[in-house]
Amino acid sequence: MRSSPTASRGTGTPGANRRHGVMLRLVGAGVMLTVMADTTATTLAVGVLRYTPAGSAMPLGDLVWLTSAAFIPIAALLATAGRWADLFGRRRVLAVGLVVFVLGGIATVTVEPWSYVLAARAVQGAGAAAMIPASLGLLLGELPESQRRGAIALWSSASGLGCLLMQAGGGWLAATVGWRSLFIPDVVIGVALLIACAGLPSGRRNSAKGVPDVLGAWLLAAGIAVIVLAISKAMAWGMDVVWLALAALALLGGALAQARHHRLPAIDLALWRRPKFVWGWLATWGFGALSYGLLTVQPLYLLHLGYPMLEVAMWLTPTSVAVVVTSFLAGRMVKRIGAYGLIYAGSLLCGGACVLVLVQAGPTVWGLIASVVVGMGVGALAPGTSVATTLAAHPHQYASAVGAATMARMVGGAVGVAVVSVVIDHPFMTGPYAGLAGALALCVAISVLIGALALTKITRLRPDPGDVMIKVPRRMLLELRMTLATVAAEADALLPVETRTPSAPPYPGPNPDHYPDPVPRPRAAEPGPLAGTRGHTH
């Protein structure tokens, strides 16, 4: 991405540059805070509706579409929206995304029919898909290079803060006003961010020609939607979901076909030719399914036990605090133990916490400890999966890798929420909490799969095809050895004759050139700049 003239050449007054930097950070962090607060509000709203007359008559598989309806457009439109931000101006796309997001939030709060509510959530998802890459693009393109890492860290950590604030204050809103009030803070913050956009630099446009693959993006969105619908209706529709599965395969095949022939495809196929990226994408997909599945199960479990919404929020707050703190610490630990080390540790923590909850009869001190451990696991998985996916790409593919990683997390989240809802409504275990216990057991299984994937990657020593990072140090060592041998020969030539290293005795065999000399000899054609100054070279 190109930097703005102010960022790249240092023009403008220091006060104006500092003011722009502060505004960029505030708006970028505000976007991620709003998106994550909106996601958390959805999971809380599903729990509230589950145990109120308004939603008790609806299957849980229908209620969780409040979450999936927003996840699907985010996952499908991220790459296209990011490309539009580069082509048409990042501030402009950010402002358009905020307008769409705010309008969708207003509709979610005001409309009555359930189908209209889901449509409003889809509109909010489309707005968030434009907000996320445009805000990050402004940070990367307008700030000096020395400030970008800190800005990205702030941009990423704001998502945990958004979850924390919504869980802390959402319980009060839902208990005193109702479930629709959970979406009011997003609308208010969105309006404030829209006003703040007027103080941002416009963001340079990319000089690349062409229009993004809109048809491919819509085919991808439709394919993901059909997959989620098939999972959520698997028990109710029986074998009819097979036709949905075939339709999903056809839609995804169309998106791939578009990607093969379009100049600016919605799916970057070059990334999928890199095995490291595929491993990271799978880990990110599993992380999305696990984290959003747990976000759905936690409030449902506590509400099922009869706790009021205010107390539910108090039980959930330690999880968010642990996510924020662990994410900050994990960002520093990734250099020591690696991305897959973090992924393995995070999956182990999440799986162990779920097992700890399964053996408890109800909320206890151990349950509170388990909620903190879940937050630690999610806090380790978030930076681990981001690094594993992003750094597997070439430098010119970083933006596409970030979009693909976010897409993987959202698709995994949509599928994870749908599967958890099916398990809760149709339990495969027995007991008073059969459905919730089955959902927790499913989260344990996902944790085991993510941990096995990370452990396999850690113990897999064979380099990926086309990876030249192992070849470069070997070539450098060979050149260094030859250089040292040349320097040694030239230094020996500068010494008096009587102190020189004695020559090797003649080789007794028929070919003296095959004498087994353990020290590499310098090339005769390149004696070096010091040869011939005093004495003679060998």
- DSSP for 445-512 reads HHHHHHHHHHHHHHH--SPPTT--TTHHHHHHHHHHHHHHHHHHHHHHHHS-GGGSPPPPPPPSSS-G
Q: What is the 3-state secondary structure (H, E, C) of 141-180?
A: HHCCHHHHHHHHHHHHHHHHHHHHHHHHHHHHHHHHCCHH
Give 176-221 pLDDT, tens digit per residue.
888 889 999 999 999 999 998 887 776 655 555 667 777 887 888 7
Pick the last residue of a domain from 410, 435, 462. 462
Determine the pLDDT at residue 382. 83
Under 8 Å between Cβ of 167 and 40: yes
Statement to judge: residues 87 and 61 lie in one domain: yes
Q: In the predicted model, is pLDDT for residue 502 greater than 70?
A: no
- Report residue 166's pLDDT band, with 50, 70 and 90 as the boundaries: confident
Q: In the predicted model, is pLDDT for residue 504 greater than 70?
A: no
Determine the pLDDT at residue 122. 92
Statement to judge: residues 396 and 337 lie in one domain: yes
Determine the pLDDT at residue 514. 47
Under 8 Å between Cβ of 4 and 142: yes
Q: Is residue 164 included in any domain, yes or no?
A: yes
Q: What is the residue range of 200's domain?
A: 21-204
Q: In the predicted model, is pLDDT for residue 2 greater than 50?
A: no
Determine the pLDDT at residue 472. 45
Statement to judge: residues 109 and 249 lie in one domain: no
Which tokens in the block code for residue 428?
């495969």
Q: Could you tell me which residue, 535 or 207, shows the higher pLDDT? A: 207
Q: Is residue 452 included in any domain, yes or no?
A: yes
User: Can you tell me the distance from the alpha carbon of 470 to that of 460, in angstroms, rounded to the nearest whole number?
Assistant: 15
Selection from 288, 427, 406 nearest residue 350 by Cα: 288
Helix residue ranges per DSSP H, 391-433: 398-425
Statement to judge: residues 152 and 239 lie in one domain: no
Statement to judge: residues 240 and 343 lie in one domain: no
Question: Which of 117-126, 298-307, 316-325 has the highest mean predicted lDDT (pLDDT)?
Answer: 117-126
Between the alpha carbon of residue 137 and those of residues 73, 213, 495, the distances in Å are 20, 20, 62
Mean pLDDT of the region 452-462: 80
User: Can you tell me the distance from the alpha carbon of 61 to that of 229, in angstroms, rounded to the nearest whole number?
Assistant: 9
Determine the pLDDT at residue 240. 80
User: Can you tell me the distance from the alpha carbon of 86 to that of 81, in angstroms, rounded to the nearest whole number?
Assistant: 9
Q: Is residue 498 included in any domain, yes or no?
A: no
Mean pLDDT of the region 43-57: 78
- Report residue 522's pLDDT band, with 50, 70 and 90 as the boundaries: very low
Give 270-311 pLDDT, tens digit per residue.
778 888 888 888 999 999 899 888 888 888 888 877 778 777
Pick the last residue of a domain from 462, 486, 516. 462
Selection from 149, 147, 185, 155 nearest residue 94 by Cα: 155
Q: Is residue 475 included in any domain, yes or no?
A: no
Q: Could you tell me which residue, 433 or 321, shows the higher pLDDT? A: 321
Determine the pLDDT at residue 3. 41
- Report residue 484's pLDDT band, with 50, 70 and 90 as the boundaries: low
Statement to judge: residues 403 and 275 lie in one domain: yes
User: Can you tell me the distance from the alpha carbon of 220 to that of 476, in angstroms, rounded to the nearest whole number?
Assistant: 45
Mean pLDDT of the region 251-258: 88
| Residue 11 region by backbone torsions, left for phi larger than 0, else alpha for psi between -120 and 50, else beta | beta
- 75 burial class (0-12, 13-18, 19+ CB within 10 angstroms)? buried
Mean pLDDT of the region 485-504: 59
- Report residue 226's pLDDT band, with 50, 70 and 90 as the boundaries: confident
Least confident of 104-118, 126-140, 227-241, 251-265: 227-241
Q: Could you tell me which residue, 242 or 500, shows the higher pLDDT? A: 242
Determine the pLDDT at residue 347. 93
Q: Which residue has the tokens 């696990």?
A: 290
How far is it between the farthest Cα atoms of the chain? Answer: 104
- Report residue 513's pLDDT band, with 50, 70 and 90 as the boundaries: very low
User: Can you tell me the distance from the alpha carbon of 391 to that of 370, in angstroms, rounded to the nearest whole number?
Assistant: 32
Q: What is the CA radius of gyration of the chain?
A: 29
∠2-385-373 over CA atoms, to 5°?
135
Statement to judge: residues 224 and 290 lie in one domain: no
Under 8 Å between Cβ of 67 and 288: no
- 386 burial class (0-12, 13-18, 19+ CB within 10 angstroms)? buried
∠191-193-194 over CA atoms, to 5°?
65
User: Can you tell me the distance from the alpha carbon of 455 to that of 417, in angstroms, rounded to the nearest whole number?
Assistant: 26
What 3-state DSSP class applies to 516?
A: coil
- Report residue 78's pLDDT band, with 50, 70 and 90 as the boundaries: confident
Under 8 Å between Cβ of 131 and 101: yes
Give 181-193 pLDDT, tens digit per residue.
999 999 999 999 9
Domain count, the chain: 3
Q: Is residue 510 included in any domain, yes or no?
A: no
- Report residue 104's pLDDT band, with 50, 70 and 90 as the boundaries: very high
Least confident of 64-68, 162-166, 211-215, 411-415: 211-215
Share of the chain above pLDDT 90, in %: 16
Mean pLDDT of the region 51-72: 80
- Report residue 489's pLDDT band, with 50, 70 and 90 as the boundaries: low
Selection from 338, 348, 333 nearest residue 459 by Cα: 338
What 3-state DSSP class applies to 64?
A: coil
Share of the chain above pLDDT 70, in %: 73
Q: Is residue 111 included in any domain, yes or no?
A: yes
| Residue 104 region by backbone torsions, left for phi larger than 0, else alpha for psi between -120 and 50, else beta | alpha
Statement to judge: residues 143 and 292 lie in one domain: no
Statement to judge: residues 102 and 221 lie in one domain: no
Statement to judge: residues 232 and 135 lie in one domain: no
Determine the pLDDT at residue 496. 59
Pick the last residue of a domain from 204, 234, 250. 204
Q: In the predicted model, is pLDDT for residue 457 greater than 50?
A: yes
Sign of the C-alpha dihedral computed for residues 83, 88, 93 and 94 taken in this order: positive
- The CATH number of whichever domain residue 118 belongs to comes to 1.20.1250.20
Q: Is residue 129 included in any domain, yes or no?
A: yes
Q: Could you tell me which residue, 370 or 396, shows the higher pLDDT? A: 370
User: Can you tell me the distance from the alpha carbon of 488 to that of 478, in angstroms, rounded to the nearest whole number?
Assistant: 15
Determine the pLDDT at residue 490. 63
What 3-state DSSP class applies to 426?
A: coil
Under 8 Å between Cβ of 252 and 303: no
Least confident of 209-223, 376-390, 486-500: 486-500
User: Can you tell me the distance from the alpha carbon of 71 to that of 166, in angstroms, rounded to the nearest whole number?
Assistant: 18
Which tokens in the block code for residue 342?
């973090």
- pTM, rounded to two decimals: 0.70
Q: Could you tell me which residue, 299 or 236, shows the higher pLDDT? A: 299
Statement to judge: residues 453 and 380 lie in one domain: yes
Q: Is residue 484 included in any domain, yes or no?
A: no
Question: Which of 186-190, 225-229, 462-466, 497-501 has the highest mean predicted lDDT (pLDDT)?
Answer: 186-190
Determine the pLDDT at residue 404. 75
Mean pLDDT of the region 441-457: 91
∠412-129-224 over CA atoms, to 5°?
40
Determine the pLDDT at residue 269. 78
Count other C-beta atoms under 10 Å from residue 502's C-beta. 5
Statement to judge: residues 254 and 319 lie in one domain: no
Mean pLDDT across the chain, nearest whole number?
Answer: 77
User: Can you tell me the distance from the alpha carbon of 233 to that of 223, in angstroms, rounded to the nearest whole number?
Assistant: 15
Contacts of 115 (CB under 8 A, 6+ apart): none
